[in-house]
Homo-oligomer: A and B are copies of this chain.
């Protein structure tokens, strides 16, 4: 059974994060993609997203391993919503399980790119007024 192309992309993105291969990683985002760094703090566009991943790699002392353990893809037309259970482990922090939410857009050539990357899911709402 062939994998959904978005599932393959996310696996490649995880591998690129774990290898700190930011060129490969950045190629999977739209030009104006939004990455949630932490609730209320966003990186917008490739320059900011690259800087954010570099800081994240440093924060985890270059031992970060990201892996999706479950995933559901809701796709219609050129838009897809991905709901994932994401396992974040590293040498210097306790393991975390996150309910990540990604939005992908299909470009004119047929390629899916990530437009919104929110690894916090609904935790963004915690503590909001």
Contact surface of A with B, Cβ cutoff 8 Å = 30, 32-34, 36, 42, 44, 70-72, 74-77, 79-81, 83-85, 99, 101, 103, 105, 115-116, 118, 121-122, 124-125, 128
Contact = CB atoms under 8 A, between A and B. Distances in A.
Nearest to A99: B122
B122 A79 contact: no
A113 to B, nearest CB: 11
A116 B76 contact: yes
B125 A103 contact: no
B118 A74 contact: yes
Contacts of A81: 81, 101, 103, 116, 118
Nearest to A40: B72
